Structure 1
Amino acid sequence: IADDKARHGPGPVIHLGDLVDRGPDSRGVIDFLLAGIAAGQDWVVLKGNHDRMFGRFLRNPTEQEPGLRADLGWLHPKLGGPDTLQSYGVANAADRPVAKVHADARLAVPQAHLEFLAACPTLRLAGDCAFVHAGIRPGIALQDQSETDLVWIREPFLSEATSHGPLIVHGHTAIEAATHYGNRLNLDSGAAYGGPLSAVVIEGREAALLTPEGRRRLPGR
């Protein structure tokens, strides 16, 4: 991104969410974003479902996350909650009583981090695009979309081939490589599972993937 800015000039950067649970240093990710914003970076940070689960657990560890299977909780190892808490110094979260983990987490997680995540928007309109974490519910106006859909939805959004109006730029559903489908652009190339982290430049409805060699246009389907 820095190289592209040096070549082509500055522009806003929109982060599509899931700042936590998806790597070994969730705290470091939030610290990085807060420091950049404080330094004047033109960044917009959207909320993902994992960011919402993190905040919900800190508020009330027994409250079930809408969109999550009833038999799962944020501390389940497959969801990444224990890894996030480990980055704050809260160890063995999956193997201890929830009440104790919650108490330790309340002491360890800075209030500034919780306020930042709570304030992250779930939808941002810019140019010909609507940026969200997961997608939208087809047939529902953007202003009427539920937060749960914006951070959790897969179907029927992924199967919808008709125009949504703006190009929907999203992540959440991992695929092999960033792909432009014509009505939506999925940037989740599986970084949480060992794949690359994808960043694109968008001009109108056209997108170019940022690579070490420069911009590579993503053809629309």
Structure 2
Amino acid sequence: MTLNIKELTALAHLSYIASPYQGFDKKLKMFNLPDINNIGSTLGSPYFMQLSLKRQSGEIITMPNEPLVSISLQKTIVETATVGEGRIGTVKEYICTEDYDIEIKGVCIGENAKYPTEEVKTVKDLFLVNEALEIQENNFFELFGINKIVLKSFKLEEMVGQEGVQKYTISAVSDMPFFAELSERGKFINESVTKALNNVRLTGVL
């Protein structure tokens, strides 16, 4: 029997049946999820892809067996209740757009139905690296301007009746270089000062 890595990964991590969409096979009752070469709706959707990460030392580590990767984004909004009888809703104040949240779901597969010790060790050792990791030649991440990520959590999950397979989930966030953050902050300050000066001129103070 030929082992389909993508089908195994989808079954390991997506054991439920959701609403049909392109690629859903009713006969097999499972998802045939798209790969990076067939991007449809991107943000928050899972895609199979080869994912290689580069350490500061120059070492490049490739995640085993083309994991499923999803990216999501949210804003920090402060909501203040309005005062007054009959008023409905809140005043929303935009604070910032947060880092991209990234979820990597994959499977490690051992030879001859043996536990995949080496692949699990590769994933575990990668998580223990305490530095930002550089994404290598990945069009999916380039769509969102993500060049580096920091790994936040690592979970090995049970695989009942599958001794030679180990599924894992890694959560990560995007990492913007410090100089880029300073550049954006300086741009914001300059825009704020310009706006304030324009408001003062309009009032006739200057």
Q: TM-score range by the shorter chain?
A: under 0.3
Point out the structure with the larger strand share: 2
Structure ID, larger Rg: 2
- TM-score scaled by length of structure 1: 0.22
Point out the structure with the larger helix share: 1
- TM-score scaled by length of structure 2: 0.23
